[in-house]
Structure 1
Amino acid sequence: MRPLVRTAALSGYVELCRSLGIDPQPLMKRVGLDTAALAVQDRWISGSAAVQVLELSAAATGHEDFGLLMAEFRRFSNLGPISLVVREEPDVRSALGLLIRHQHMYNEVLDTRLSEGDGLATLKVDLRLGEAMHTRQATELAVAAYHRILRDFLHTRWQPLSVWFRHPAPAVVSTHRRAFGPIVEFDREFDGIVFYAGDLDAPNAMADPLLRAYAHQYFEAITVPRDTTAADRVRELIEVLLPTGRCSIEQVARSLGVDRRTVHRHLAASGETFSSLLGATRRHLAEQFVANPRRSLTEISDLLGFSSLSGFSRWFHEQFGCSPRAWRSARSRPRLPGQD
């Protein structure tokens, strides 16, 4: 299966597109994504699609600095739940180490390595997509995001010794100079940041020592293994695609960068089918949504990918033995002692 990224990887994308005078929806649709999916940061989408839409957007806007402009929308919280733990690490070395060891929890495309030698620290950033494609925008976004994280840890005026990119310089470098200063270089051996190794020992200004133990207890509860199964990935994509009305095996396969037969084969190996996962995911979400009285049944029907409320109602009755309205009513009545 191809790598996935959290939708937070495209944080600020819609706002940036609109500020540059283009509609983001057609561009996202070309790569099998939907702007509605970006409303929830912790959903997973195709890494290849996220990289491609940045390249398409750079071309559509005429901005070779599109990835860097997106980095200006980045916040530490975009890392997701891991940000709560990283911010309590005592120094920059341990904070970066935690981010790198668990980068699969927020971005499966990233392959970041930190090395030290001769008093220097080198943070190298690679993108692993499993296929050849242009990655200039995504690479610059990733390097700029790490640069901002280091500044959060150290000081807003902190500067590395150099920022390197393997690709050629753009026609206009003003955004790069604004982001990194005069130390940015192009046509170099790797993509990344070089700085003094002593900076790694600097105390993390954001940390509260009393909170670290609690943060690590929380982290142990949410940590996921690196070997996420095919069924897990398909289930995540089903949740993202259901509200778009385009939740099909073909669309899931496209998001994963494979063909439908490959999806079927991986699911079969774990004893699942696309239909079984779709049904189970719909049932799980239906229970959550219908139990919430603030959601209308029409809204729930749309969120679960039904073309009409009547179709949703028939499906719900088949699954739960009653109408969604009756199910909601039964759940809202107070239960007497001894009742099931």
Structure 2
Amino acid sequence: MKVLARYAALNSYVEVSQSVGVDPAGLMRGVGLDPASLGSPDRWVPAAAIARLLEQSAAASGHQDFGLKLAERRRLANLGPLSLVIREEPDLRSALRMLIRHANMYNEALRMRRSVTNGLTTVRIRFEFGEPVGARQATELAVGVLYRLLRDLLGPLWQPVTVCFTHPAPVDASTHRKFFGPMLKFEQEFDGIVFYASDLDTPNKLSDPQLRTYARQFLDSLGLAEETTPLDRVRELVELLLPSGRCSVEHVARSLGVDRRTVHRHLADANETFSSVLNSIRAELADQMVSSRRYSLTEIATLLSFSSSSNFSRWFRGQFGCTPSHWRAEKQHALPR
């Protein structure tokens, strides 16, 4: 399967595109991405498609600083659940360790490595898309996000020793100089940031020791493995696509950047079929939704992509041995009064 990234990587893409006079929807469709899916930031798509989108957006707008314009709008909170853990780590060393360990939660193509030599720490960033694709804008976005994170944790007066890029300088580097400061170098051996090793032990002023354990437990509860299996990807996409009414093996395959036969083959390797995965996810969600009174049974039928309430009721009886109404009544009766 192709290397994937989440739509969260395009946070603020619409706003930045419109600010530089290009059509975000048209550019997204041109690289095979669905503009409507920007509302589902956890959905996976081919990472190479996102990189192509950023390159084409920079070219169409004439702004070689397009990736940095995205980075300017990023905050620690844009890292989602991971931001809760990073925020509570005791020092920069621990925060970077968590970031590097879990970077593939958002982009499987992203590679980050930290090293310490002669009193200097170097954090290197690179991408492995599995296919030829330009990555200048994606790289500047990633380095920019890392830079913002370091300043959030070390304070607004902190400056790196050097910010390095392997590509040549843009014609106009004013945005880059304003963003990174004077210690910026192009055509270097790696992409990343160099800073003093002593910064690693700087206490994190955002941290609350009493919340640290709970934050880590929360991250662990999400079941985030360092290696996401094809079955994990399919299950996640099924859950995301169900409410849209477009939960088919074709749509899942398109989101993964493969054909339907490849999806079936990977599921067979895990002793699953698309139907068994769909049924399993529906059963898990139905149990949760019917047990609660947040949704009506008609709404639940729609959210689980059943064509009618009667079809949902028949399926539910086959799964749970009773009607949804009876199940809900039993669950509510069992609640403490």
Match of residue 315 from structure 2? 319
Match of residue 138 from structure 2? 138
Does 2:328 align with 1:331? yes
Which amino acid in 2 is paired with 1:48?
A
Is the 2:289–2:300 Cα contact (8 Å) retained in structure 1? Answer: no
Structure 1 residue 195 displacement after superposition:
1.3
Q: Deviation digits for residues 296-336 of structure 1, max 9, x if unmatched?
A: 957973x5567xxxx344542442249xxx84697379855
Q: Deviation digits for residues 74-104 of structure 1, max 9, x if unmatched?
A: 1101112122122122211111112112222
Spell out the pairing of 1:146-295 with structure 2 (5 A cutoff).
146-242=146-242, 246-285=246-285, 293=294
Structure 1 residues 168, 335: closer, same or farther in 2, change over 3 A? closer
Which amino acid in 2 is paired with 1:194?
V
SS of alignment partner, residue 107 of structure 2:
coil
Structure 1 residue 244 displacement after superposition:
5.2
Q: Deviation digits for residues 183-211 of structure 1, max 9, x if unmatched?
A: 22222111111111111121112112233
Structure 1 residues 296, 159: closer, same or farther in 2, change over 3 A? farther
Q: Distance in 1 between matches of 2:80 and 2:259?
A: 30
Match of residue 3 from structure 1? 3
Structure 1 residue 138 displacement after superposition:
1.0
Structure 1 residue 285 displacement after superposition:
4.4
Q: Distance in 2 between matches of 1:123 and 1:281?
A: 39
Is the 1:7–1:41 Cα contact (8 Å) retained in structure 2? Answer: yes
TM-score, scaled to structure 2: 0.85
Q: Distance in 1 between matches of 2:285 and 2:139?
A: 35
Q: Distance in 2 between matches of 1:157 and 1:169?
A: 25
Which amino acid in 2 is paired with 1:35?
P
Is the 2:54–2:66 Cα contact (8 Å) retained in structure 1? Answer: yes
Spell out the pairing of 1:32-111 with structure 2 (5 A cutoff).
32-111=32-111
Q: Distance in 1 between matches of 2:296 and 2:26?
A: 29
Range with greater deviation from structure 2 (29-38 or 225-234): 29-38
Structure 1 residue 243 displacement after superposition:
5.1
Q: Distance in 2 between matches of 1:244 and 1:55?
A: 30
Structure 1 residue 286 displacement after superposition:
5.5
Range with greater deviation from structure 2 (53-62 or 193-202): 53-62
Structure 1 residue 181 displacement after superposition:
1.5
Q: Distance in 2 between matches of 1:37 and 1:300?
A: 22
Structure 1 residue 179 displacement after superposition:
1.0
Range with greater deviation from structure 2 (1-10 or 290-299): 290-299
Structure 1 ranges of 4+ moved more than 6 A: none
Structure 1 residues 334, 209: closer, same or farther in 2, change over 3 A? closer
Q: Distance in 2 between matches of 1:218 and 1:69?
A: 32
Query: Any stretches of 5+ residues in structure 2 without a counterpart?
Result: none
Q: Distance in 1 between matches of 2:153 and 2:81?
A: 17
Structure 1 residue 115 displacement after superposition:
0.6
Structure 1 residues 275, 198: closer, same or farther in 2, change over 3 A? same
Structure 1 residues 282, 136: closer, same or farther in 2, change over 3 A? farther
Is the 1:14–1:24 Cα contact (8 Å) retained in structure 2? Answer: yes
Identical amino acids, percent of aligned pairs: 53
* Aligned Cα root-mean-square deviation (Å): 2.9
TM-score, scaled to structure 1: 0.84
Structure 1 residues 315, 21: closer, same or farther in 2, change over 3 A? farther
SS of alignment partner, residue 63 of structure 1:
coil
SS of alignment partner, residue 159 of structure 1:
coil
Which amino acid in 1 is paired with 2:103?
Q
Structure 1 residues 328, 156: closer, same or farther in 2, change over 3 A? farther
Range with greater deviation from structure 2 (85-94 or 291-300): 291-300
Paired residue total: 330
